[in-house]
A and B are shown apart, each in its own frame.
Chain A
Amino acid sequence: MSAGIEGRFAGALGGFRLQAEFRLEPEGVTALSGPSGAGKTTLLRCIAGLVRLPGRLTVDGEAWQNERRFLPTHKRPVGVVFQEAALLSHLSVRGNLLYGARRARGEAGFDDVVELLGLAPLLARGTATLSGGERQRVALGRALLTRPKLVLLDEPLSSLDAAAKAEILPYLERLHRSLKVPALYISHDAGEIARLADHLLVMRDGRVTPGGPVRRIADELAGLSPAERDGLALAALRAGLTPQP
């Protein structure tokens, strides 16, 4: 059984063509960055099984998708945090956390997740009254309680203002330290990537640029501002990639 996650998707969706081949490290957070419209969200949806494009995907040696097999989303042990949290509005916070936990028999970790994300004061509340940051914390806890083998986060902070981001980042850093499974984290924000990611993948025009020396990645990102490039370079250094001489 080979650890880690390997995949390749090639196909058209509307007018957009995805041709992505990638590998995720078996541990740590991999940031997926790149300009808007590069196909980051589509790739994430392919991994979650929410979109079906021709290709293959192997997670810890188990085929989630290949020529003969396509595991539907509800059979994939994957935790997804959507951009706008997508909480179930007819349930309380506790109801949202337990919805996935019960179906994945993950109730055992309930108290730990509530503690990790500081959710105790929110449990009885309805989702309509939560702030943006609180919503994302609930969405994150809900995903973790499904006992995932892989966590996917689609720009979970992009809809938040600076104050809300500052509030939630420490929770994400704690999570990063305690997370036992790999995570794919879509983000444009170099600061977030530098604080949260161990590895870096970059997408452009539907393709994933293989991880490599910092300078080459920086060249790929010529469209980004200098500050963003520095952030990505920093993240790449932390990920153990060395600059070219």
Chain B
Amino acid sequence: MSQVVWTTLRLAGLTTVLLLALATPIAWWLARRPAWWKEIVGAVTTLPIILPPSVLGFYLLIALAPQSPLMGLLHPFGIRTLAFTFEGLVIGSMVYSLPFAVQPIRNAFEAMGARPLEAAATLRATPLDAFFTVALPQARRGFLTAAILVFAHTVGEFGVVLMIGGAIPGRTEVISVKIYQLVEALQYGEAHRLAAAVVAFSFAALLAMLLIDRGWERGLK
């Protein structure tokens, strides 16, 4: 049981860290000087919200299978397939939660506007310096929202992990799938414990987010 929890938390944590790093440049690029054709990229990054997880999982399974061109590129490195592996699960979770990372960060960058960056430039900050010392701290609430949403969404995902993970104990078996299996096996007691833990954890995460946000709001007064 604890192995399932550990796999889930490891998956959600790794997905969150990697996805924030990936989503930040995308969100920045989308938020700065928006042109209509950038919305094509905007739509692609938002697509996972409206696609059924089974559709997403199906395509991911094909992309991560040994015959796919994508995996072909990795064959020289000794990697034949990422389907039914933890690494594949991380990639799938990143795709699945991409919109939940890009949208809040993009909104935060857009809400900030160009003025703080102009002010930073007149204060001798190079664009890169201004990005790290002005844009990132000004958008911190967007990052907090993105982190919580991605983490929670990854803990809660079911369809994608079932299709590309295969619920291999110790490697790709996560809480949401485990609960499903327990219920199927009529082990309601176990299912109850696990489900209650997820509810408590989710509540604690959201509460922490709101409290941190509130602290930041009051921080400089």
Contact across chains for B115 and A86 when beta carbons are under 8 A apart: yes
Instruction: State A199–B221 Cα separation when bound (angstroms).
Output: 40
Question: Closest CB of chain A to B34's CB: distance in Å?
Answer: 16
A74 contacts B134, CB within 8 Å? no
B138 lies within 8 A of A146 (CB)? no
Which residues of chain A come closer than 8 Å to B129, judged between CB atoms?
74, 103
In the complex, what's the smallest C-beta–C-beta distance from A17 to chain B, in angstroms? Answer: 22
B122 touches A90 (CB 8 A): no
- Chain B residues lying within 8 Å of A100, measured Cβ to Cβ, are 122-124
Q: Are B221 and A142 in contact (CB under 8 A)?
A: no
Checking A79, A125, A127 against B122 with a beta-carbon cut-off of 8 angstroms, the contacting residue is: A79
Which residues of A lie under 8 Å from residue B119 when comparing CB positions? 80, 82, 86-88
Q: Which of A49, A72, A90, A142 is B123 in contact with, Cβ under 8 Å?
A: A142
A44 to chain B, nearest CB (A): 11
Among B115, B120, B124, find the residue whose CB has the most chain A CB atoms closer than 10 A.
B124
Interchain pairs with CB closer than 8 A, number? 74
Q: Are B124 and A90 interface neighbours, CB within 8 A?
A: no
Q: Which residues of B contact A54 (CB under 8 A)?
A: none
Q: B118 at interface (Cβ–Cβ under 8 A)?
A: yes
Residue B116 at the chain A interface, CB threshold 8 Å: yes
Query: Which range holds the interface residue count of chain A?
Result: 20 to 34
What is the CB-to-nearest-CB distance from B110 to chain A, in angstroms, rounded to a whole number? 16
**CA–CA, A49 and B124, complex, Å:** 12
B124 touches A146 (CB 8 A): yes
Map CB proximity to B onto A114-153 as digits: 1 under 8 Å, 0 otherwise.
0000000000011111000000000000110010000000
Q: Cα distance A91–B116 when bound, in Å?
A: 12
Enumerate chain A residues within 8 angstroms of B9, measured Cβ to Cβ: none
> Known contacts A82-B115, A86-B115: does B221 contact A99 (CB below 8 Å)?
no
A18 adjacent to chain B (CB < 8 Å)? no
Report whether A128 and B221 are in contact in the complex, using a CB–CB cutoff of 8 Å: yes
Q: Is A208 in the interface zone, CB < 8 Å from B?
A: no
Q: Which B110-136 residues have C-beta < 8 A from chain A? A: 115-116, 118-127, 129-130, 133-134
Cβ of B219 < 8 Å from any Cβ of A?
A: yes
Please give me the residue from chain A that is nearest to B138 by CB atom.
Answer: A90
Q: Is the CB of A86 within 8 A of B116?
A: yes
Interface bin, chain B: 20 to 34
Q: Could you say which of A74, A92, A128, A142 contacts B125, with CB atoms under 8 Å apart?
A: A74
For chain A residues 65-122, which have a beta carbon within 8 Å of chain B? 72-75, 78-80, 82, 84, 86-92, 99-100, 103-104
Question: Given A74-B125, A146-B123, do A50 and B219 touch, yes or no (CB 8 Å)?
Answer: no
**Residues on B with beta carbons closer than 8 Å to the beta carbon of A146:** 122-124
On chain B, the residues within 8 Å of A53 by CB distance are none
Main secondary structure of the interface of B (DSSP, over half): helix
A202 contacts the other chain (CB 8 A): no
Q: Which of B122, B138, B140 contacts A78 (CB 8 A)?
A: B122
**Bound complex: CA of A127 vs CA of B121, how far in Å?**
19
Please indicate the chain B residues that have their CB under 8 angstroms from the CB of A92 in the complex: 220
Partner of A88, one of B116, B121, B126, B140: B116
For the complex, what is the distance from the CA of A89 to the CA of B111, rounded to whole Å?
13
Whether A48 sits at the interface, judged by CB under 8 Å, is yes
Is B137 located at the chain interface by the 8 A CB criterion?
yes
**B122 contacts A143, C-beta separation under 8 Å:** yes
Indicate if the CB atoms of A88 and B122 lie closer than 8 Å. no
What residues of A have a CB within 8 angstroms of the CB of B134 in the complex?
88, 90
A88 to B125, CA, bound (A): 13
Determine how close the nearest CB of chain A comes to the CB of B214; give it in whole angstroms.
14
Neighbouring A residues of B122 by C-beta, 8 Å:
48, 50, 73-74, 78-80, 100, 143, 146
| Residue in chain B with minimal CB distance to A129 | B221
Chain B, 33-76, CB within 8 A of any chain A CB: none
Q: Is the CB of A104 within 8 A of B220?
A: no
Supply 18 A–B pairs (Cβ within 8 Å), ascending by A: A74-B121, A74-B129, A78-B122, A79-B122, A86-B119, A87-B119, A88-B138, A89-B138, A90-B138, A91-B220, A99-B120, A99-B123, A100-B123, A100-B124, A103-B124, A125-B221, A126-B221, A129-B221
Give the top 7 A-B pairs by smallest Cβ distance, nearest first. Answer: A126-B220, A100-B123, A103-B124, A73-B121, A80-B122, A86-B119, A90-B137
Spell out A's residues near B (CB within 8 Å): 48-50, 72-75, 78-80, 82, 84, 86-92, 99-100, 103-104, 125-129, 142-143, 146
